[in-house]
Structure 1
């Protein structure tokens, strides 16, 4: 079995891994394997009365660690909490741990008079200057990147899929690049910034893209190509180290996983579970294509970047860029086409019903961005959006079972 381990934890050596680095060639067809998945979720802490951000992350993390141990930690600002799951092959077990993880953070926050929201960007204007978490790495980042760190109250959901071979992980990355626009659209949950509607479904995607090594990753010819680029980026002061590779897809630098980072923080457990199932199926499909010798679609970098921009702007509504035909198609049509392509992998992992139900749910109620805007229309204020996010963060949702 392939083993995926959450960031910051010592990985178990995968079966069949024969090298000292923990990477090894697969010993059986990927079509017969159950890929593991793990998630990192980032949340914001808010005051239940003012709905403003509150810099109490250290207190909440200390409290929540009684239940979650090292799976809960702080982030760059004092308004954010990050929590991680263990690796799972069962989607049901993954869903249950995401739910329990959120419950632990919500309860810890409540004990300090706070509430938790899961959104890609804060809805109301953020404090200035930002309260940055103590630590040499964060201090170095602020000194190195200046005002870019002023916008780091943005939150994401990162999904890890277990691949114990470094070269294979990069090949999968090459195959997944062209799917990034659909993933951005599915997960879009950040229409508001500084108290106003940005006109984008995922403003976090635009804010994150300003970093020097962010957005869609390059197409890599080999691990040597990847290593040389990382060395150049580090030598030129573009990144501090490999942890500063903020591409939407990247091989983890210390655990045997491929990390997909294109997702806004999700409003509900059901949203995270849907994204996890789709992502695992994408990776499994890519592995099967690689095994069959099928080349990755390689759109021009500028066109891929444009497609991601369009997805961040429009989400599931309107048109999206069809990277095969190089023209516009309805966004929902492209996602349904992708889900059709993933059907064998979804069946293999037993996830087809969950994804079918989850996609039908999004077609009915919209992605996170559409739900935030609906809350604003209903309550006629940004505060109503924060209230809806507080209610959604740990709500029981049968769609994720």
Structure 2
């Protein structure tokens, strides 16, 4: 059911907040990144995530943890208003995890899906909740050695979070195309730019969130999902935008794990700008767009299949358009100062956008690495080199490093 604009609560903000290039008020942004652990010789997945997490925790404390499978490692940043500060912490965090992996003669990669070495079912991490998940969802857990990049936007309360969700959800397909980085599964090219998107949407509470009429609508729906045993708990709410159940943020969960810090910053800055513009629209009592759910799902599928190389479904016109045109429209809407401002944060986004236009998204780069010698091991090498790269993406200057075994 659609809600009238007059029925939506408004968001109050202090007049003393400083205006920035990202909108009327500084918006805090934090990031969670998930990595896969690989053997540098075989380029296969490794199951020693618990050991690497223990080593990484010596530097990162509770900002590093295990995930569903023993192939995966999750890290998080603090909240930031400055993209430059966020970038510094992202680099330091990735380097800390990479050092911890190296202590066990292992490496980390940032890819939405494994390239080589996954097993079905995968080895699950120990813990009561993971065991409950396997018992409840069964074979759905078998393909979840997939990794994402989650962006958290600070919000003052649940009503604000839900209004932001309503305003942001029509742009989710564009974010899929921007961050697609999972073309391979089971050592095969899936034909999709983001296969993780397709596997993740199989969960009973996943994909695009509903259009929320009110906080009561949200709470009643969550209670029903838990009562019906569709959810284990609020932590199992896997919509691609969700209010966090334990911190005051709105979590945008749509993106594949991104190969480089530059890619993560581009995603985080774009979402930060989207949130700032949405807050301005909320203050002005502008209604959120409400595309038909069927067309939003169709746009998901198209973006996951084609990434940046094909066409996207424009949810304003319900017609196809070049994916690059949709992304440009997103940036012009969310980041109107991107091409003119001297804001350092926007300068970082301009650099990352230029790399994207030259080299494509992560899926494009994985396929480029494969085409050199038609070896998936080269894709893994590219991802190993990219994860802590601080300059141009590795494939622009070198490749084919290492020997196949």
User: What TM-score do you get using the length of structure 2 for normalisation?
Assistant: 0.90
In structure 1, how many angstroms separate the alpha carbons of the residues matched to 2:383 and 2:139?
27
Change (3 A) 1:93 1:398: farther
Change (3 A) 1:73 1:268: same
Match 1:206 to one of 175, 182, 198: 198
- Which residue in the other structure is 2:44 paired with? 52
CA displacement at 1:368 relative to structure 2: 0.1
- Which residue in the other structure is 1:18 paired with? none
Matched, 1:68 2:60: yes
- Which residue in the other structure is 2:322 paired with? 330
- Which residue in the other structure is 2:332 paired with? 340
Change (3 A) 1:354 1:93: same
**Counterpart mapping for 1:33-182 below 5 A:** 33-182=25-174
Query: Is 1:53–1:127's contact at 8 Å kept on the other side of the alignment?
Result: no
In structure 2, how many angstroms separate the alpha carbons of the residues matched to 1:69 and 1:398?
30
The Cα offsets for residues 224-263 of structure 1, whole Å up to 9 and x where unpaired, read as 0000100111111111111111000001111110100000
The Cα offsets for residues 29-77 of structure 1, whole Å up to 9 and x where unpaired, read as 7854211111000000011111111110110000000100000000011
In structure 2, how many angstroms separate the alpha carbons of the residues matched to 1:285 and 1:349?
17
Query: Is 1:174–1:296's contact at 8 Å kept on the other side of the alignment?
Result: yes
The total of aligned residue pairs comes to 376
CA displacement at 1:318 relative to structure 2: 1.1
- Which residue in the other structure is 1:16 paired with? none
- Which residue in the other structure is 2:401 paired with? none
CA displacement at 1:379 relative to structure 2: 2.6
- Which residue in the other structure is 2:311 paired with? 319
In structure 1, how many angstroms separate the alpha carbons of the residues matched to 2:56 and 2:230?
35
- Which residue in the other structure is 2:292 paired with? 300
In structure 2, how many angstroms separate the alpha carbons of the residues matched to 1:137 and 1:251?
20
Matched, 1:254 2:246: yes
Match 1:356 to one of 345, 350, 358: 350
Match of 2:382, SS state, is helix
Query: Is 2:177–2:304's contact at 8 Å kept on the other side of the alignment?
Result: yes
Change (3 A) 1:395 1:348: closer
In structure 2, how many angstroms separate the alpha carbons of the residues matched to 1:33 and 1:176?
17
- Which residue in the other structure is 1:27 paired with? 14
CA displacement at 1:344 relative to structure 2: 4.1
CA displacement at 1:183 relative to structure 2: 0.3
CA displacement at 1:356 relative to structure 2: 2.5
In structure 2, how many angstroms separate the alpha carbons of the residues matched to 1:178 and 1:216?
9
Match 1:380 to one of 351, 374, 377: 374
Matched, 1:197 2:189: yes
Match of 1:339, SS state, is helix
Give 5+ residue unaligned stretches, structure 2: 1-10, 394-405
Change (3 A) 1:129 1:307: closer
CA displacement at 1:350 relative to structure 2: 5.2
CA displacement at 1:293 relative to structure 2: 1.5
CA displacement at 1:128 relative to structure 2: 3.8
In structure 2, how many angstroms separate the alpha carbons of the residues matched to 1:344 and 1:261?
24
Query: Is 1:125–1:193's contact at 8 Å kept on the other side of the alignment?
Result: no
- Which residue in the other structure is 1:238 paired with? 230
In structure 2, how many angstroms separate the alpha carbons of the residues matched to 1:27 and 1:227?
28
Query: Is 2:24–2:280's contact at 8 Å kept on the other side of the alignment?
Result: no
Change (3 A) 1:35 1:79: same
The Cα offsets for residues 192-223 of structure 1, whole Å up to 9 and x where unpaired, read as 00000000000000010000000000000000
CA displacement at 1:124 relative to structure 2: 1.4
User: What TM-score do you get using the length of structure 1 for normalisation?
Assistant: 0.91
Query: Is 1:76–1:138's contact at 8 Å kept on the other side of the alignment?
Result: yes
Change (3 A) 1:394 1:245: same
Matched, 1:393 2:359: no
**Counterpart mapping for 1:8-23 below 5 A:** none
Query: Is 1:212–1:238's contact at 8 Å kept on the other side of the alignment?
Result: yes
Change (3 A) 1:254 1:25: farther
CA displacement at 1:345 relative to structure 2: 6.8
